[in-house]
Structure 1
Amino acid sequence: MTCLHSYVTDLHIHIGRTRSGAAVKITAAPSLTLENIINYAENIKGIDIIGVIDCHVKETLEEIKEYLADGEAYERKDGGVQFRRVTLFLGTEIEIYDENCHGPIHVLVFMPTIEAMELFSAWMSVRMKNPTLSSQRLYENGNNLQKKVKELNGLFIPAHIFTPFKSLFGKGVKSSLTEVFDPSMIDAVELGLSSDTSMAQIVTELESYPFLTNSDAHSLEKMGREYQFLRLDEPSFDEFRLALKGIGGREVETNFGLHPLLGKYYQSICADCQSKITKGACEACQSTKLIKGVSERILELPLHTPVRKRPPYIHQIPLEFIPKLGKKTLEKLRSHFQTDMNIIHSATEEELSKVVSPQIVRAIFSARKGELSIKTGGGGVYGKIIEKN
């Protein structure tokens, strides 16, 4: 009899540097090494399944194979690489800008095995200028990329789909994903930090796709700022595939993400003076240049009344966003409760009160309940939690 369990899952984590110190994601922290990612997921964040999306890089693959050779990890027969209590899914983030795009589009691709990722990496290496770096532009048609992914039994997931820059609906297409992709070869979509289920589910073309919420971590602390609970029989690639299809009780059980108001691109902002702008010229400086917010961009797409029943979306405030919760206090909490997931989801008010001040206890519980006041973000600047006196 199948016994399903919930697994904390974050499928968009970058590598900053390889073991030798070579840069992979230029804008990511050097501390984002594979070893540190595994340790942080297991011992600090409490994440069960991670997607490392720079596994197309040859040195990254070689490092993973070294772990296998040393007996510190093993390939699961049903897909994924097991490191102690953490399962790694082999992924890559790719930038597409073919003749059908109106702007660059980032997509996530996941492969079930090291062999499949090696084949995919070799295929990509002659179609991009620098295969040793993250999120490189692929000089290939979007449909052809999808076909190759499916040929290798992989998963194809457009990333942070509403972000103004480098996303499917940000600038990639005018009104339909069919301008670039074959809808039948998309397995899920990643929402991004400035949208949630209530916003995305009204977009007609997204009705058939499951929603994923991932951190897009460029530092160790950003891991797990968005995540989901996957309900699976075991933490494997094949089980994840079944969950995306909703087969046998497997499912995306709950999405946890930033309140969209905290995202960097929720509202439209004047590109010149950073003032809030709606229509026409900026009232502050009369500029007509704007960085269009996700909340406005969604309303330009074909919309409908959603039919599909979606998992709950919980507006989860990361601990680093909570006022007065500095590094030393966070270390104290982690020392007492082991992982961030325990602090965020499990610790009682009484237990927290023994470790931190009443003000921080109230803030943590207000964050759990979605009761914190927020200053809205936009134009590349995160929103902020407003402290109450």
Structure 2
Amino acid sequence: MYIADLHIHSRYSMATSKDCTPEQLDLWARRKGIGILGTGDFTHPAWREELKEKLIPAEEGLYVLKAEYRLEGENTSDTLIPRFVVSGEISSIYKKNGRTRKVHSLLLLPGLETAEKLSGKLETVGNIRSDGRPILGLDCHGLLEMMLETDPRAVYIPAHIWTPHFSLFGACSGFDSIEECFEDLTPHIHTLETGLSSDPSMIWGISALDRFQLISSSDAHSPAKLGREASLLNMELSFDGLSRALTTGRGLMGTIEFFPEEGKYHHDGHRKCGICFSPAEAEQHSGKCPVCGGNLTMGVSHRIMQLSDREEGFVLPQGKPFESLVPLPEVIAACLGYSAASKKVQNQYFELLRGLGSEFEILREVPPEDIRRISDPLIAEGVSRLRQGKVKRIPGYDGEYGIIKLFDPDEV
């Protein structure tokens, strides 16, 4: 079984950490327990050159970091060697059917040679050198067509499909159906990325999406954020094996999700005025902010409700299982009463990795009594509650992350 995080970014994307290098991505993948990692940003020429320099081919279509670049540390797995698959996100902004559309797409390619060829074609459309996630005036149909012409084995995945401003189904600039976006090329779309503000159970309410495989990824802008969402794969270790699992579901075992309320677009709201509404509350106010009178940003839960044709709580018989988790530093922070970035929390985080294994092993598998033996008993209790879903959820809205609480203040 491999944990895969296919949608990430390099340091060449806007608002990303300078630590998003192949060395640091490999290091943090080992800390997290991630076996397959997207490279991100294949369109950026400098990043491609760095990947060519620092990666070597492993299995067909997959790469590993060269040994001389591997960062050794006491907080990493000795046996896990993460595989890289060439990936990148592209932002398409264009007009269709009388509206401006803003859609982000995740592309997975069978190798750096394909990345070179496709990037050459994309450079004739727009600027791919200023940002690792380029903004192009190329519609999604044209992007998919160009990708298939370059290499029909490549995989096109609409990214974080519900994000209000930049996604396939986004309330502000998206479409109401996949067919409206991709037209005759719709049969080439097999897989959708859920995004942080939704999980598969929410999407199961829309029968038109039953045929699509659902994956999750972190969309990480720093190495420490890898794996905040991920996919579980039981597959032959190769690009074709990965493609088969993602497009047919054979080998896609499920996903690791945020609690969707923690995503920053779960509910409707207006961040400037501090207004957060459920879909029903937003409709009572006709989608307007009661403080300033401006439009509320429609959240993911409301947008999904608009398109749903099934009763809430419907379970898709063939739907893949999923787990809702919180990153381990956030669990530790909730238990110790400090911020996740504090030195106390970071020290405890690395102490747990040293003693018990990768972050995903600790969150998903390590017995609570083992956690209790080397750390604060509250952390063991926090992990137990997390596994059971015994959390308090305060929804995010309009770009503001939600909060998942494991303890009441008086308990801590």
Same fold per superposition (TM over 0.5): yes
Could you say which residue in structure 1 is the equivalent of 2:202?
A: 199
Map of 1:341-360 to 2, 5 A cutoff? 341-360=360-379
In the TM superposition, 1:15-94 aligns within 5 A as 15-16=10-11, 24-42=12-30, 44-68=31-55, 73-76=56-59, 78-83=60-65, 85-94=81-90
**Residue matched to 1:179:** 180
1:292 counterpart letter in structure 2: M
The 3 A distance-change label for structure 1 pair 173 and 382 is closer
Take 2:289 and 2:101, find their aligned partners in 1: how far apart are those partners?
Answer: 28
1:179 Cα deviation from its structure 2 partner:
2.2
Distance 1:131-1:303 versus aligned 2 partners, 3 A rule = farther
Partner of 1:139: 137
> Aligned to 2:327, which of 296, 299, 318?
318
Corresponding residue for residue 246 of structure 2 = 244
* Aligned residue number for residue 20 of structure 1: none
User: What is the CA–CA distance in structure 1 between the aligned matches of 2:308 and 2:370, rounded to whole Å?
Assistant: 48
Secondary structure in 2 aligned to 1:29?
coil
Aligned-pair CA distance for 1:324:
3.0
Instruction: Give 1:21's aligned residue.
Output: none
For residues 302-352 of structure 1, the C-alpha deviation after alignment (integer angstroms, 9 at most, x for no partner) is 534775511111111211322035222112111212311221122111211
> What's the CA shift string for 1:78-110, capped at 9, x where partnerless?
312133711111011001122215331000011
Shift in CA distance, 123/258, structure 1 to aligned 2, threshold 3 Å: same
Provide the residue aligned with 2:78 in structure 1: none
State how 1:292-331 maps to structure 2 within 5 Å.
292-301=298-307, 303-304=309-310, 309-322=318-331, 323-324=334-335, 326-331=345-350
Distance in structure 2 (CA, Å) of the matches to 1:360 and 1:75: 38
Kept after mapping to 1: 8 A contact 2:394/2:403: yes
Question: How many pairs does the alignment contain?
Answer: 368
Secondary structure of the corresponding residue to residue 256 of structure 2: strand
Does the aligned pair in 2 maintain the 1:270–1:287 contact within 8 Å?
A: no
TM-score by length of 2: 0.84
- Please say which of residues 372-381 and 253-262 is displaced more in the overlay: 372-381
Higher helix share: 2
* 1:231 and 2:234 matched: yes
Q: Is 1:99 the equivalent of 2:72?
A: no
Q: Secondary structure at the match of 2:121?
A: helix
Say whether 1:213 aligns with 2:224: no
Cα offset, 1:271, TM superposition? 4.7
Distance 1:196 1:227 in 2: 12
What is the CA-CA distance between 1:51 and the residue it aligns to? 1.0
For 1:320 and 1:27, the matched residues in 2 are separated by 22
Structure 1, unaligned stretches of length 5 or more?
A: 1-5, 17-23
Match of 2:148 in 1: 150
List gaps (5 residues or longer) in structure 2.
Answer: 68-80, 337-344
Partner-residue secondary structure (3-state), 2:223:
coil
**Partner residue of 2:403?**
384
CA contact (8 A) 1:11 1:214 kept: yes
Matched, 1:11 2:30: no
Q: Distance in 2 between matches of 1:123 and 1:75?
A: 27
Q: State the secondary structure of the residue aligned to 2:397.
A: coil
Task: Give the CA deviation at 1:139.
Answer: 2.4
Q: Which amino acid aligns with 2:122?
A: M
Q: Classify 1:94/1:283 alpha carbon distance in 2 versus 1 (closer, same or farther; 3 Å).
A: closer
Give the residue type in structure 1 aligned to 2:318. K
Q: Kindly state the Cα deviation for residue 286 of structure 1 after the two structures are TM-superposed.
A: 4.8
Amino acid at match of 1:288: G
- Letter paired with 1:199: M
Alignment RMSD (CA, Å) = 1.9
Q: Deviations over 1:192-214 (max 9, x none)?
A: 00000110122233211100111
Tell me, in whole angstroms, the C-alpha distance in 2 between the residues paired with 1:168 and 1:296: 15
Asked if the contact 1:315/1:370 (under 8 Å) is kept, the reply is yes
